[in-house]
Amino acid sequence: MSIHRTHLLCVMLLGCQLASAVDTSAEQRAAAEAEKRGHWALQPLVEANREHALDEFITARLSKEGLALSAEAERPTLLRRLNFDLIGLPPSPEEIDAFVNDNSPRAFATAVDRLLASPHYGERWGRHWLDVVRYTESDGFEYDRMRPNAWHYRDYVIKSFNDDKPYDRFVKE
């Protein structure tokens, strides 16, 4: 018998053994098919009846745990949260009044745009970058020597955040 026939015979025997080792009963195939159909990714899409589809997902999970969404924040509270998140400072009484009295659907987006345009935005978020790079203007406690030109880098970071400089360019510079 030639080597090719021997090789072919071995492959065929191995294939037969593997086929007999795998149990492909009709019941197992049907169970696997039913399990596949029950997978969340194969379910038909359902139109969300809330403002955002994410709300529907969160509400379903909360109700499963016996919980409910918190009430929507009042407008002054919403503006305070937004201000502290974006610039780290509370809104002025005038800003609160203007936001509360603005009933347009874009009132929140307008407030976000205003805060992102604020120079305080770069100060608030640039400080996190400065923490990462361990920025200081002096050597600290024992050796409190000043670093007279360190402020140039600090101002560059703040300006980069305020100018919305792309991250890849910011890191390269």
Residue 100 has pLDDT above 90, yes or no: yes
Q: Would residue 6 count as lying in a domain?
A: no
Domain count, the chain: 1
Contacts of 163 (CB under 8 A, 6+ apart): none
pLDDT for 19 equals: 59
pLDDT for 94 equals: 96
- Among the ranges given (11-20, 22-31, 106-115, 141-150), the one the predictor scored with the smallest mean pLDDT: 11-20
Tell me the mean pLDDT in the region 73-92. Answer: 95
Q: Is the pTM of this model over 0.95?
A: no
Q: Would residue 165 count as lying in a domain?
A: yes
Name the residue among 146, 95, 98, 147 with its Cα closest to residue 120.
95
Give the separation between CA 159 and CA 104, rounded to whole angstroms: 31
Tell me the mean pLDDT in the region 153-172. Answer: 90
Q: Would residue 101 count as lying in a domain?
A: yes
Q: Would residue 29 count as lying in a domain?
A: no
- Higher pLDDT among residues 146 and 81, named by residue: 81
Q: Would residue 48 count as lying in a domain?
A: no
Tell me the mean pLDDT in the region 144-169. Answer: 87
Q: Would residue 64 count as lying in a domain?
A: no
Tell me the mean pLDDT in the region 75-103. Answer: 95
Q: How confident is the model over 101-153, as pLDDT tens digits? A: 999 999 999 999 999 999 999 999 999 998 998 888 777 777 777 778 888 88
Question: Which one-letter DSSP state was computed for residue 23?
Answer: -
Q: What confidence category does residue 86 fall into, taking pLDDT thresholds of 50, 70 and 90?
A: very high
Give the separation between CA 13 and CA 74, rounded to whole angstroms: 74
For residue 134, is it left (φ>0), alpha (ψ between -120 and 50) or beta?
left
- Higher pLDDT among residues 96 and 144, named by residue: 96
Q: Would residue 106 count as lying in a domain?
A: yes
- Domain assignment of residue 118, given as a range: 75-172
3-state secondary structure of 91: coil
Q: How confident is the model over 44-77, as pLDDT tens digits? A: 877 656 567 788 888 889 999 999 888 889 999 9
Q: Would residue 69 count as lying in a domain?
A: no
